[in-house]
Structure 1
Amino acid sequence: MTRLIIDTDPGVDDAIAIAIAALHPGTDLLAVTTVFGNVGLEKTTRNALRILELCGRSDVPVAAGAAMPLVHPQARRDSSAHGDDGLSGHADVLPPTSREPVAGGAVALMASLLEQADEPVTIAPIGPLTNIAALLAAYPHLKPKIERLVIMGGALEGGNVSARAEFNVWSDPEAARRVLVADDVPSVLVPMDLTYRCAVDTEWMERLAASGRVGEALCALTPEYVRHYTGALGWPGMVVHDAVAIVEAITPGTLVTESLPLDVECSFGPSRGAVIADRRRQAQIDDTVPLDVRGRVNVAVDTDIDRLRALLLHGIQEKMDA
């Protein structure tokens, strides 16, 4: 049983990711915490509550976290892919909810759950890393309670929000550097390089829509998202970045990883938010001035793509008697 906290900024792909975790029988979803990102914090929090309502998981607590980055303002939202409501302009297909986020905020809720945990907990940050940076800074004594962080973010070869940067890391590079470079919690980074390779086509989406009530609603969230990614991919489909990370979080070993020293560019040049991986041999690294890194991060570099796509669908399919 994977004990899991998701930290997220829903987001169409976040919605699919949350649904997979919420419905997975081998996952104990302890909480969903929210952060600014694809849209503002009020909308990401409302979206998280309604996605859990769709999945019949109103038992899962939701707490709102950071509304802005640690240091510098976020330059822009990602409305081109996710629409003004974060869900491709179709958030109203989700059931309404009268539930409110829990008091105290995201960091306090994560800390409380870790304090209470009798087994290590996996945290899956699939938005900007602001909440996680704050958690690690404020509660360092709880780090042994974290099994690992499974982070969707970064791009080693080329970004989406700029030529070098991926959106989640670019939204708060200082927080990303705090988590990936300055700390020592075991981490898997799932970069855009791999998630693009795991993109799904319209046939996959038809199967999602036919899988049940939840799949049908999730598919109804995707029209603008699909339009955006059809232009990016060159064929009709979409990239489900965050869902790829969640599959690894709940099924460890799904993704093949490579241990790499990383750094995050925090300057205001054209590479702001870039993740820099040092792929030189260790002897070369040792013989030169090292990057200011705390060690290595397991970076996801490959997977069985057909199996991964099947796992994404399997995670959402409902039993006939549901």
Structure 2
Amino acid sequence: MRTKLIIDTDPGVDDAFALTLAALSEDVDLLGVTTVFGNVGLEATTRNARRVLALCQRDDVPVAAGAARPLVHHQPREARTVHGSDGLSGRSGVLPEPVRELERSDAVTLLAELLTSAEEPVTIAPIGPLTNIAALLAAHPHLASKIDRLVIMGGGIARGNTTAAAEFNIWSDPEAAHRVLAGGEVPCVLVPLDLTHRCAVDASWLSALAASGPIGAALHSLIPDYLEHYRRALGFEGIVVHDAVAVAEAIRPGILRTESLPVRVECSFGPARGMTVVDVRRSAQRADTDGANGPFTDVAVDADLDGLREFLLERLIGRRV
């Protein structure tokens, strides 16, 4: 069975891995890619997405640029210290120039067009700030039924990465994340930091990728700044491929184990801004308080970690598993 998929992204090194994963998977119909501000500015994220698709020889996939800033408040800072000056460790120039022109329409328009023309529900994988998705649901509520599910990389149950409480994608536009997760229009799977960090890949995995061929070598060449960051964060030679974990679930539903839990997003200003408040209490306890009515989100809490790493590597080196 082929997955109808759209990716909304802000490349970013792990976004580049995730986009390549989808682009090379034969059981995926990659209908389109939309870009958003995030790890770096919109111009750079759009250029990076188009170059990754060119690397994968996927000039059949339309790309449209979306939101350049959050819905309400300005993004306080980008993630250049993690992803480098251009989002790809300063090495986006090693990727080929895009063949296909950027769509003249904006991201929300392309999303609406792709959903309208789809003959069956489509999975959307938002792996950056949720600004484009919030705008889509607000402007085209009738299209919610055309979305099978949103598989979102974002948030954390017990940790943040941008602040002690907040993960970067949610923190970059908490109001948009609240609109999407609390809206209830579309089933959501949230893939949080707690799990993606456990899925970190090590030096041997990265070496196998680099030795696999031109695409693997190109992806490996994008990681120096990212690797340096995670060398400090993890304490070993490896990286966290957050967004690729989410896209793996989008491609193969159930590769991650999820629990249906109430999730809210903290939108006030203060040390918890951007926090995903995930209610992990037993349902009986929630029923005695204010947590019984949701909104509920399928939160990814576990996986066969070695099996997932194998799935990612095999797909990225061009062998379907």
Q: CA deviation at 1:183?
A: 2.7
Report the CA distance between 1:98 and its aligned residue. Answer: 5.0
One-letter amino acid of the counterpart of residue 296, structure 2: R
1:111-122 residue pairs with structure 2 within 5 A?
111-122=112-123
Q: Deviations over 1:147-183 (max 9, x none)?
A: 1000000011110100000000000000000001123
What residue number does 2:315 align with? 315
1: CA distance, partners of 2:102 / 2:296: 35
Match of 1:303 in 2: 303
Give the structure-2-normalised TM-score: 0.97
Q: State how far apart, in whole Å, the 2-side matches of 1:318 and 1:305 are.
A: 20
**Any idea what SS the aligned residue of 2:151 has?**
strand
Q: Secondary structure at the match of 1:315?
A: helix
The Cα of 1:101 is off from its aligned counterpart by 1.4
Which runs of 4 or more aligned residues in structure 1 lie more than 6 Å from their structure 2 counterparts after TM superposition?
none
Q: Counterpart of 1:30?
A: 31
Alpha-carbon separation, structure 2, partners of 1:282 and 1:217: 47
Structure 1 stretch displaced more, 97-106 or 171-180: 97-106
CA contact (8 A) 1:133 1:176 kept: yes
CA drift at 1:279: 1.8
Tell me, in whole angstroms, the C-alpha distance in 1 between the residues paired with 2:105 and 2:119: 22
- Rounded to whole Å, the distance in 1 between the matches of 2:99 and 2:262 is 45
What residue in structure 1 maps to residue 203 of structure 2? 202
| Structure 1 residue matching 2:312: 3-state secondary structure | helix
- The SS at the match of 1:189 is strand
CA contact (8 A) 2:53 2:98 kept: no
Q: What CA deviation, in whole Å up to 9, does each residue of 1:261-298 have, x standing for no partner?
A: 0100001110000000112222332322348x652100
**8 A Cα contact 2:262 2:291, kept in partner:** no
Query: Is 1:57 aligned with 2:92?
Result: no
1:91: which partner in 2? Answer: 92
8 Å Cα contact 1:182-1:294 kept in structure 2: no
Residue matched to 2:140: 139
Alpha carbons 2:54, 2:99 under 8 Å: kept:
no
Distance 2:290 2:10 in 1: 37
SS in structure 2 opposite 1:20?
helix
Pairwise CA distance, 1:97: 2.3
1:78-227 equivalent positions in 2, closer than 5 A: 78-97=79-98, 99-227=100-228
8 Å Cα contact 2:153/2:190 also seen in 1:
yes
Unaligned runs of 5+ in 2: none
The SS at the match of 2:183 is: coil
Q: Is the 8 A contact 1:212 1:318 kept in 2?
A: no
RMSD: 1.2
